[in-house]
């Protein structure tokens, strides 16, 4: 195995880590309108609980995307250039949504005003739903192939990206992240919020299995290889296990299997893509591959040594963070708001 293959796998691993970790972050924000509604507690208190489930880790989870983008740029610059120029509008929408989400999370508690907090809540909801859908659309188009010419330029339009397969991919990531987030909330909370999250995960499990199952089967039939049937089977079995575990209120194991389902699906997409990185629908000879899109061997070698030195430290630190903040929380743990009133110093 050469360094080009190694870095293709590493980029796949980085995106898998991002979708697993940021996936439940998105899911938490997506459920603000449902699980954030007050019953015996105020809506604001419930939403603060939801935010606190991801509060210590969400910004660290986003580092996986930054690392994946940096690795893509350094290891496969032609892939990076064609992808970011051709998918400029959807990736810009993802970036804007992520910026809105970051600002809403960070600033929500800075001003003690219900109108301000509602606006921040809508920023969190918008910043969670948009990337959850568009990431699926983007990766489905990468697998399907797009109109790339002899100069390695994308020559299709924005609406060419909104084909049935890509839209099904967007629906799949949205539903899987929503289910992943609901299970995570059930795992991290207690009391009424946990009860509501368990019920929501049960309701989401069936449509997620149907939509995600259709997507992975379509992927296998249209672009798959014989051995990738194993990944299809793993993803399908994991999602079916989530249905049973959600019904049995075993959120810990349900979270394990939503993680397995996401990992198997991303592995399937990268496996059917290899050795291409962006297939061309105009002429297979114009497709970007791990060979014609990669950096020099010397660059890949330096990057490999850097990754070997730094990656274990990052993984240990992030694992320690999750261990420290492993306890469940509830509305009883939320102190009164101490934000500033509008117009005060």
Instruction: Encode pLDDT of 170-218 as tens digits.
Output: 999 999 999 999 999 999 998 889 999 999 999 999 999 999 999 999 9
| Contacts (Cβ under 8 Å, ≥6 apart) of 184 | 24, 27, 28, 53, 255
Query: pLDDT band for position 267 (50/70/90)?
Result: very high
Checking if the pLDDT of 345 tops 60, the result is no
pLDDT at 97 over 60: yes
Is the CB of residue 298 less than 8 Å from the CB of residue 313?
no
**Of 194, 199, 193, 239, nearest in space to 216 by CA:** 239
Q: What mean pLDDT is reported for the chain?
A: 91
pTM of the full structure: 0.93
Task: Work out the average pLDDT over 19-40.
Answer: 89
Residue 344 has a pLDDT of 39
Do 135 and 176 form a contact (C-beta atoms < 8 A)? no
């Amino acid at each position: 195995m050469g360094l080009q293959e190694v870095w293709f796998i590493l980029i796949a691993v980085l995106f898998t880590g991002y979708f697993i970790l940021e996936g439940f972050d998105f899911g938490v924000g997506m459920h603000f309108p449902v699980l954030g509604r007050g019953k015996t507690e105020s809506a604001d208190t419930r939403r603060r609980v939801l935010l606190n489930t991801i509060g210590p880790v969400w910004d660290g989870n986003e580092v996986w995307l930054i690392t994946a983008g940096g690795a893509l740029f350094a290891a496969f610059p032609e892939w990076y250039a064609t992808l970011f120029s051709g998918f400029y509008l959807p990736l810009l929408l993802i970036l804007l949504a992520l910026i809105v989400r970051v600002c809403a999370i960070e600033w929500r508690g800075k001003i003690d005003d219900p109108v301000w907090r509602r606006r921040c809540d809508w920023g969190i909801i918008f910043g969670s739903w948009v990337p959850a859908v568009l990431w699926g659309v983007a990766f489905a188009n990468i697998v399907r192939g797009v109109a790339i010419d002899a100069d390695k330029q994308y020559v299709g339009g924005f609406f060419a990206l909104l084909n049935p397969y890509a839209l099904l991919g967007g629906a799949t990531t949205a539903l899987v992240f929503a289910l992943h987030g609901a299970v995570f909330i059930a795992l991290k909370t207690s009391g009424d919020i946990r009860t509501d999250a368990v019920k929501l995960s049960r309701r989401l499990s069936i449509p997620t299995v149907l939509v995600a199952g259709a997507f992975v089967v379509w992927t296998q039939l249209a672009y798959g290889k014989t051995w990738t049937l194993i990944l299809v089977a793993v993803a399908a079995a994991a999602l079916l296990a989530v249905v049973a575990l959600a019904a049995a209120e075993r959120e810990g194991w349900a979270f394990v299997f939503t993680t397995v389902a996401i990992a198997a699906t991303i592995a399937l997409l990268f496996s059917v893509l290899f050795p291409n990185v962006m297939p061309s629908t105009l002429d297979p000879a114009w497709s970007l591959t791990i060979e014609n899109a990669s950096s020099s061997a010397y660059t890949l070698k330096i990057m490999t040594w850097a990754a070997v030195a730094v990656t274990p430290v990052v993984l240990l630190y992030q694992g320690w963070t999750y261990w420290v903040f492993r306890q469940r929380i509830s509305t009883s743990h939320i102190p009164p708001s101490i934000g500033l009133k509008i117009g005060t110093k």
